[in-house]
């Protein structure tokens, strides 16, 4: 029972951590896009799509999916 309580507490504490990561990821993507990355027009469009999808997922409260989607954009920008 003690272990179950610890796991439950960890899960409750981890969710806000992911929620806080999303805005930082979005800001990093925006800054990289503003700097004019060395990507094709198609790649920039894909990064912008992932950024917008990640922001929408964050706003909807799906922070795990938001972090994963934003990670794809960061990878393409070379931020990870």
What was the pLDDT predicted at 2?
54
- pLDDT by residue (tens digit) across 3-59? 544 444 445 444 444 457 999 999 999 999 999 999 999 999 999 999 999 999 999
According to DSSP, residue 1 is labeled -
Query: Per residue in 31-56, is it b (16+ CB within 10 Å) or e — as a string?
Result: ebbeeebebeeeeeeebeebbebbbe
Task: Work out the average pLDDT over 71-80.
Answer: 95
């Amino acid at each position: 029972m003690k272990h179950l309580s610890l796991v439950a507490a960890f899960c409750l504490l981890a969710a806000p951590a992911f929620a806080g990561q999303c805005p930082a990821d979005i800001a990093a993507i925006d800054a990289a896009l503003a700097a004019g990355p060395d990507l094709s027009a198609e790649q920039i469009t894909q990064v912008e799509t992932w950024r917008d999808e990640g922001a929408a997922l964050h706003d909807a409260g799906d922070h795990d999916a938001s972090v994963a989607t934003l990670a794809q954009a960061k990878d393409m920008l070379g931020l990870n």
